[in-house]
Every structure is written in structure tokens, then in C-alpha cells.
Structure 1
């Protein structure tokens, strides 16, 4: 998942807050200029499998390739691991629960998880958790020790949901919630468990009911499917296959996997909220919730990083697992949605995020 491995241009960790269609076949998808740019991006990534896909005003263009021979199942039909690019999905679940009146976002996480705890035991709310302002570290303090035997294979799988909750209940934040931003897989994982406890519904079921179902994302899920359904990740060398990612107790922070076309559908709903079922929740996903840094340069919404362009803001999130990387973004000003996926673990001077970011910024 991101934070430990990927960086966005100009987004440092830990700063004091200044304030709180059926897809068209590739040959019919149009725009030759986009097609050429996407093909160049695929080549630049240099991964066993790479997919770059764009939707502009509903017209889709997709290019794929890679250093490995084409898989038996066409790359656009495979599901790819999103890692931390799962977080916009989780944010949309929370937004929809708030719009439905089931939650407010101001609930103390500790009382959601343990009804016997007094609300004053911890002031961390659900809103703090989704906005990375809860004062939590990127990972629990004992994460590396408990997962060391699986560090190179599937460390998150060794850290269960109950351990995530227990680590949160034992943690004492160094900073008052709401005063500092620090990217935290730990915090969003806790959010998933708190929301599930508050609604008495498993997080996977909430995801299916409030996002996957309404947006008709039939090729999106949280667990590996049968043979040939999921892309195979690779290590830093680009040759060694790695096991499918298991998020363990961090499902809300990094478990989603999806096909390129499902991801475009997800982003198109953000571009045209009035045409999608959870309209108000989707609209709320664009609203800035905090600004930080010099001149409030860095803007965050509930589920997205937001950066300025010459014509309007762009919204994006990237993610990584031990063998794959993902980038999702959209620009309302140009009606553009971008999906980038590859099956090579992040490495020093990796061009993947920079390539995808540049495509969206120029789009």
C-alpha cells in the first residue's frame, strides 16, 4: 500500500495543518493523440504488464503491454491490485453512510469499536481517520515485529483485524487529533473496522452495497478470484512472481482489486455525479476538507489528493502492493479520467507514478 513506497509530487509527510457503458472496443475508442501518449506511457513504465486507460467525456482509450508475454487472459480483463488506491472506495462508502443518515462522521472510533469505552477515552473520530488527521503512525508500532517472517511475501496477512483494533485501543497519539496530517494506512484500516462495528455489517458488504452495486462494478472485489482472473505481481526485478496481496486486517486501506474498465466506470461516476446513484456522496468527494502547507498549497478531499492545474483541479490517488502499482485520477475541467496499472513492485526512481501524474496533469 502507498505511503511506505510511493510519493506524489510536492506532497510531503507530516505537516502542521493551516486549517481544517459498456466500454467501447479499443479500436473504436477514438482519440489518436491519447492512444499515442498512452502507448508511450506503457513503454516508459517497463513492467511485465502495464495498462494505461483514459476516458474523456465518456470516450475510452486503452493501451496495454509489458516486458512479459501477453497472458492467456487479455490484460484489460484482469483485475489489478490497487493497494492504497482502495482509499477513495472506502471514503465513498463512508460518505454514502453519512448521506443515508446511518453515521455522521463525528462518531468517536473507540465507542464504535468498544461500546463499553467512554467517549472521552479517545477523541479520534471517523472523520479524523479518513482524512489522516487522527495522530496515528503509518503502521502500528508492532507491525514490523509481528510481520517480519513474511516481510517479503505477505506481511499484512499476518496482521489480523483484531490486532489492528487492539493496536488502536492501546495507542496514545502524540498530537491532538485534527491538528496534523500524517498519511496512515493504520488509521484507514481502523476506520473500516469502526464503520463495520457501528453498522453491524462487514466492511466488504458495505463496499458491495454502497459502491460496487450502485455503480455496477461487477469485476471489482477484495479477494483474489479463480485462475486467470487476477494479474500476477512481480518483484522489483520485474521477473520474480509474487503471491496475490492479502490485506489482512487492513482491508479498508488496501484490499480492492479491479479491472481497468471497472476503474474507469468508478472515475466516470466522479466526473458525472448526477448520472450515478450515490450522487450526493460523489459530489461530497470533491469538497476540500483540509488545506496545509505554505499558502495552503496542498488540498485534500475526503478520499482524494487535489492539485491545481492551469485550468482547474485534478484529483488523484496512487497505491502499491508488494508486486503491483496503481494510479487513479480525474479532472472535471477536461472531463478526463485516468487509470494506470502495472505489475512490478515500486523501486528507486520508479517512473510509474510520475508518468501517470504527468498524463493527468496535461490532460
Structure 2
């Protein structure tokens, strides 16, 4: 199916959408070429619904389409589940708290969650949790047992916040924190609870106070809003609808959902933080904090994967839930930000992430 150009309110079909927060650069951009690239990308992911949106120096172009009939609400106006790409929001919350002096990042997580257990507390810090160097596994040891009855619907919903915290307090890492990198949904979930406990503020309120409100992301949140506001996910077959994702106690690791335009605004703030209230925090989450792998080829910041290109570094993070996938990325050297979203569960040899990555990496 050919992907139609998005009709954004007040914008004729086929016209480039201009960001109200960024002036157009002096030179023209090849908008037609970008429109063609986005249309090809939407077709390539083969999903019921897909949106690819790019911002070049604040000039936005979006394409949407899919194998399913167009929903009553235009695809670009719906909110999509980010899954693990939510961690980029969590990293920014922590960076904001550090910049404001509320925390340093070096606090032991146990001390934040259970101040009465400070003597002899584990050396595992908030910084270890956000950088996946905590030594924690991807998920708690008993997660599978508890989640199995709802494995095809909402497994995370069966693992609430108190159980996440309890599992963390009982866990004994195999490796000393800071010595190995291992991607951990468990660790970032614990981070969210630690930040909430340390500040005396619920995670949802922390996210709003430090990220959503300062960046004016009014169409972004962590709770589903219903079929009139949220895109419907689908299984691997691309036909079977699945329920909205419930992150349970893993909100900080994967609960965020937002519209394509809100997500572009989020990325544009990372591209050019100069005018944002959270400028220092936005710059800090771009700073490399660790390298790993053969020849230290893999570079990570507090919230992003970072790969080199001929025109400067590229920052990105993907995510998936039981019925949707997301990809967020930006390149300061080219002034480019990319949001890619689709409503089909990840499957073997899925083309979604590779398509989005290659689109952002192209000059």
C-alpha cells in the first residue's frame, strides 16, 4: 500500500509541516527527496499502521500509512507506545534532578529505597542503573513465573512496583556494579522507583515536572487514553489487535506513549537545547559515559546509544511492546531528528529498526 502524505490540521496534503519552535534555515532542503524516503520506509515496515516523521533544522515532514484501513483519528494524531525508548525520558529526569542539585547520581539505590538499610548498603548507584552497569539481569528472577499466565496479553501488569522493589532488595548481583554492561529493564525500573522514593514524588509526577511540562509535551504520558487517542497494537501476524501496554512496576523502563509531533519536539530539544529550560540536562544526556565491546566500539550516554557517522555522532534508541515498535534518533551534525512508529509486534527478521536506523544514518 502506498503511504499517503500526512494531513496535519491546517496544512494542505503534501506540504511540509514547519515546527513552530524553530525557524527555517537560510538554504532550502530537499523536501521531495525526504518525502519519498519516508514513504518508502512506511511501506517497508509492513505494519497495520506506521508513521515516519523527520525534522531537519526544525522543518518537519511526516508520512503515514499501513496495511490496515485508516483509523477514524488520523495516524499522526494518535499516541504510540515507545517501550524501551521510554528510557530516554527517564535519563532526562535523572539529569534534571542532578542539575537542580536534588541528587548527584552517586547515591546508592538501596539508600534511596530503604534509608533504614544504609549501613553496609550495596555500592550499586543510580548512575549504575541508568547506564545498565548495575549487574542486574534483564528481568527479575521470578518475572517469568508471575508473567506467564498473561504472556500474550500484558505480562508486565502482573509485576507491580512493590514487587520490583522487593526483588531488587533481595537480589545479589553476580558482578560488581560498574564492571560490566548488560541491558536491564529491571535496572531502569528500579531507578524510577528510587527517584520517586528519594524525592517523595510519584514517577508520573516526576516525568511531568522535569520533562513533559518544560518541553510542552501535552500529548505524551504513561497511561493509555483509549482508542480515540491511542494507536491500537497488533500481534506478529499484523491482524490480531492486542490490549494497550500496561508496564506494571516497569513504568520508568517502558511506559511512555506520545504522538509523532510531541516526539519530534522532544528530539528537537536534544538537537538544539539552547532555548530550553532544561538545556544543561539535555546536553548532559548526549555526553558519552562508557565504551564497551571490541575496541570500545560501542559508545553509550546516560540515555542513548551513540554511533559515529561522517558528519558527527548519531544518537538513537528503539523500543517495543507486545503490539507496537518505536525508534527515536537524532544527529546534531545534520540537524536531523527521526521518529518512527508502527503497530505490529516485533518478529524474526523484522525490518522496522533497520529501516529507521538506515534512514537516520543517510546524509
- For normalisation by structure 1, the TM-score amounts to 0.93
Work out the CA distance in 2 between the residues paired with 1:23 and 1:274.
28
Contact 2:189-2:251 within 8 A present in 1 as well: yes
In the alignment, which residue of structure 2 is the partner of 1:231? Answer: 231
The alignment status of 1:134 with 2:121, answered yes or no, reads no
Q: Is the 8 A contact 1:24 1:59 kept in 2?
A: no
Contact 2:51 2:340 in 1 (8 A): yes
Q: CA deviation at 1:27?
A: 3.1
Shift of 1:276: 1.3
Tell me which residue corresponds to 2:80.
Answer: 80
Equivalent pair of 1:54/1:264 in contact (CA under 8 Å): yes
- Aligned partner of 1:305 in structure 2 is 305
Q: Which residue of structure 1 lines up, in the alignment, with residue 42 of structure 2?
A: 42
Q: How does 1:24-103 map to 2 (within 5 A)?
A: 25=11, 27-29=14-16, 31-103=31-103
Asked if the contact 2:195/2:203 (under 8 Å) is kept, the reply is yes
CA–CA separation in structure 1 for the residues paired with 2:79 and 2:87: 17
Residues 289-343 of structure 1 show CA distances to partners (whole Å, capped at 9, x for unaligned) of 0011122110000100000111111000000000000000000000000000000
Are the aligned partners of 1:138 and 1:184 in contact in 2 as well (CA < 8 Å)?
yes
Contact between 1:24 and 1:60, CA under 8 Å: does it hold in 2? no
| Alpha-carbon shift at residue 194 of structure 1 (Å) | 0.3
Which residue matches 1:360?
360
Q: Where does 1:309-328 land on structure 2 (aligned, <5 Å)?
A: 309-328=309-328
- TM-score normalised to structure 2 length: 0.93
- 2:280 is the counterpart of 1:280: yes
290-299 or 137-146, which moves further after superposition?
A: 290-299
Q: Distance in 1 between matches of 2:9 and 2:355?
A: 24
Equivalent residue pairs, number: 342
Superposition map of 1:324-363 within 5 A: 324-363=324-363
Contact in 1 for aligned 2:111/2:118 (Cα 8 Å): yes
Distance across 1 between alignment mates of 2:108 and 2:250: 19
Contiguous gaps of at least 5 residues in structure 1:
1-21
Give the distance between the partners of 2:10 and 2:261, measured in 1 at CA.
10
SS at match of 2:204: helix
Given the superposition, is the C-alpha separation of residues 268 and 119 from structure 1 closer, same or farther in structure 2, using an over 3 Å criterion? farther
Deviation, structure 1 residue 23 = 9.3
Paired residues of 1:108 and 1:119 also in contact (CA < 8 A): no
Kindly state the Cα deviation for residue 123 of structure 1 after the two structures are TM-superposed: 1.0
For 1:342 and 1:119, the matched residues in 2 are separated by 47
Compared with structure 1, are the counterparts of its residues 181 and 191 closer, same or farther at alpha carbon in structure 2 (3 Å cutoff)? same
Deviation at 1:28, TM superposition (A): 2.8
- State the Cα deviation string for residues 76-106 of structure 1 (Å, max 9, x = none): 0000000000000000000000000000000
**How far apart, in 2, do the equivalents of 1:246 and 1:145 lie?**
18
Q: Which runs of 4+ in 1 moved over 4 A?
A: none
Name the SS for the 1:28 alignment partner: coil
Shift of 1:235: 0.2
Higher relative contact order (CA 8 A, sep 6+): 1
Q: Can you give the 5+ residue segments of structure 2 that lack an aligned partner in the other structure?
A: 1-7, 17-28
Q: Describe the SS at the equivalent of 2:209.
A: helix
Asked if the contact 1:83–1:253 (Cα under 8 Å) also holds between the matched residues in 2, the reply is: yes
Contact 1:233 1:243 in 2 (8 A): yes
What root-mean-square deviation, in Å, do the aligned CA atoms of Structure 1 and Structure 2 show? 1.2
